Each structure stands twice: as structure tokens, then as C-alpha cells.
Amino acid sequence: MTTDPSTAAAEGSEGDRVIIFDTTLRDGEQCPGATMTFEEKLEVADCLDEMGVDIIEAGFPIASEGDFEAVTAIAKRVQNATIAGLARAINADIDRAGEAVKHARRGRIHTFVSTSPIHLAHQMRKTEAEVLEIITATVARARNLVEDVEWSAMDATRTGIDYLCQCVDAAIKAGATTINLPDTVGYATPDEYAEMFRQVRERVPGSDKAVFSTHCHNDLGLAVANSLAALGAGARQIECTINGIGERAGNAALEEIVMAIRTRRDKLRYDTGIESTMLARASKLVSAVTNFPVQYNKAIVGRNAFAHESGIHQDGILKHQQTYEIMTPESVGVGKTSLVMGKHSGRNAFRSKLKELGYDLGENAFEDAFVRFKSLADRKKHVYDEDIEALVDQGIAHMHD
Ligand code: KIV
Ligand code: ZN
């Protein structure tokens, strides 16, 4: 059986395996203000590799000397993942990317060109025929340098389907082994995005030889939904970033993709090779090195993702964790479920908190403490353990007066 997930996906073996392509160090770093130092990039790459990411897009080697050095160093040190370097459809970019990834156990050149009418007219100033020629020439050049070549149709979701099929056909014929159809501007809806994959895979004769990949931006908050929709239409590689960082509103968040696939395996029928217990650690690391806080209510890794405040929810959780949690905090590396004490908390949660703090109160003392806790919670936004300890201790002292 093939063990390299990208070969397996193209061959149709290991039918349930989705390739996770992390672009935190490339598209993620393109997020305004998220630049990382050389050492920070190595630390993130080590963490991604340990976590089981299949492909790490380590940077854009032609962009700067620093990017070239980082991709080269990551290619030299990473043990398991394939290392990809990004390149425009320009010979110098491709050669530079090839130079950087040649040290990797498995190196990939990821080359891209715009295909949509708006990009061709205003950014590229080239005709469709000219771009087709560029695709053939640049993919072939990359393929001369490495075995593993990914080609991306930038702005695929705003490209006419007939022309998109011609481009994909040219890229596969020139030797591309992965075809990425990005939603560059985060414009697609899940059904449209899936339909694009279905059509291209049906209409381009050599499609079965390539792995199809998703790359979704989050401008309409649909990046994860679009990626999963494409999975149902035959995509087998998902490009994503830790904490969803990336250009503008960001990219599909790796932790959300991985946990959606794992939690809903019954429906999505696939799995990844990611060690999910490392997700919280990876999130904290990327947040620290980029100085980008993770929003409190962020799915999977946000501070509130496993926190419950309402009395009804806390009561349910105390009786059975799955009443209000669809995955365990341990499965994503978060310590444990937290019951946040506030004005919505009920008696059961308060009793459990007292037990946790080492108190065993009689019924009267408990009722007295609960009434005073509720009144404090009404006045104070956050009720900390110390507040509860203080009010119980005061109550006990008062009873002894
Ligand atoms: O969003 C995009 O289209 C990209 C390409 C370079 C793949 O990031
Ligand atoms: Zn992108």
C-alpha cells in the first residue's frame, strides 16, 4: 500500500485520507502585521511537522532573502512533511523555489497564475491563449526541478468553467501532480465551489492523475464550509492555516477543518493524519509569534470553546459531558471543560465549584453562600475562585460571631 498521502490520494487508495497542506508560514504570514522571524518560523515548522501536517508551505523564496533562507532551513530540518515553496509563473521564481526546496526529503514547487477575466485584463494584461502557454512552460520547468509540482489557478472561482478546464488540462499535461482551485477572494458559496470541482474533474481527461486541492479565503466567513464542500466533490488536499490567519479575513482554519472532519466522520467519511491533541499548542504558538490574539469565541481553540456559563448548560455538563460538548477539550489539547461562575450559573455548578475548592458546606451554609454568590455575580462581570472563597469564608466567620 502507498504511504505517501499525495500519491495515495491521486491513485484513489487510502480512500479516506485527506492531505493537510498548511500555509501558515506563507499565506498566513501575508496577513498584515503577522511577520515572523527566522527562528519563529523554524519553531512553527517543527510544531506543524510534529503534529502530522502532510505539507508545509514554508514561504515564497523569491520574495526576499529572508524567505529563501527560511524555506531552505525548514527544508533541511523537517523530518516528515513535504516542504513547498511558492513561485509565480516566472522562471526566476520557479528556479529560486526549486533551489530552496531541493534540500527537503520531499520538496514541492507550488506555482500559480491568475485565470479569471478580471485578473487577466487588469493585473496580468495577457490574453487567455498567452496564459495557457505560460502554464505549459512554467509547470514543465518546475517539473524538471522536482517530481512534485502543484499548480494553482489564482481566482479560480471567478474564472469561466470552460477556460478553467483548459488551464487545468494544460497544467496536468505539463506535469502538475496537484491541482489547486483557490477561492482567492472568498467569493464562492459551498454549492458553487463543490460544483466547480465536480465539473473540472469530470471534464478534464487527466484529472484522475492529479490530487485536487482546496484553498479558501474567509471574506464571507465560508472558508471552512467551502473546503468541506469541495471534499465531497473529490478534493483530497485542503490548504489551511493555524488560527485561520491569512490575507484580509484569513484562510480556512486548520483546527476547524481537522476537527470538523474528525467529529463528523460519520458524514464526511474522511480523516486526516493530524494529532489533534496538539491543536491548542499550535494555536498558542502561532498567536504568540504573530502577536495575533485568538478571538475568545473562536471554534476549537478560543478561550470560550469549552467554557459554559448558563445554569442549564452547566447542569447538563455536570450530568453528562456530551449534553453540551460535541468533542472533548482533551482531544484538542485544552486542559478541561470550564464552568465559568457568573450570574447564569445554577446551584449544581456552584456546589461543584465549592467541592473543587475544598468546601463541604451544610445545607443552610450552602444556601446562604449561594444567595450571596448570586448577588455578587449580578454586580461583578467575572466571579473568580478567590471571590467565592472570600464569600464562603466570610459566611463561615459570620456564623461563628
Ligand atoms: O489565494 C490564493 O489564490 C493563493 C495562491 C497563491 C494559491 O494564495
Ligand atoms: Zn491564498
On the question of pLDDT at 401 being above 90, the answer is: no
Ligand-binding site membership of 217 (annotated): yes
CA gap 216, 240 in Å, rounded: 8
Residue closest via CA to ligand 1's atom 6 equals 112
CA gap 252, 245 in Å, rounded: 8
- pLDDT tens sequence across 218-263: 999 999 999 999 999 999 999 999 999 999 999 999 999 999 999 9
| pLDDT at 394 (0 to 100) | 87
Alpha helices in 265-344 (DSSP H): 265-268, 279-290, 311-319
- For ligand 1, is residue 154 a contact (CB within 6 Å)? yes
Q: In a mutational test of the pocket of ligand 1, which residue from 86, 123, 154, 227 has the highest number of ligand atoms less than 8 Å from its CB?
A: 154
Q: If you average pLDDT over residues 317-322, what whole number do you get?
A: 96
Q: What is the DSSP letter of 120?
A: I
pLDDT band at 395 (very low <50, low <70, confident <90, very high): confident
Residue closest via CA to ligand 1's atom 7 equals 152
From ligand 1's centre to the CA of 377, what distance in Å? 48
pLDDT > 90: what percent of the chain?
A: 91
Model-level pTM?
0.94
C-alpha dihedral sign at 61, 67, 73, 77 = negative
Closest atom of ligand 1 relative to the 180 alpha carbon: 7
Residue 253's beta-bridge partner residues? 241
Ligand-binding site membership of 364 (annotated): no
**What is the ipTM score, two decimals?**
0.99
- pLDDT tens sequence across 111-147: 999 999 999 999 999 999 999 999 999 999 999 999 9
| pLDDT at 228 (0 to 100) | 98
From ligand 2's centre to the CA of 250, what distance in Å? 8
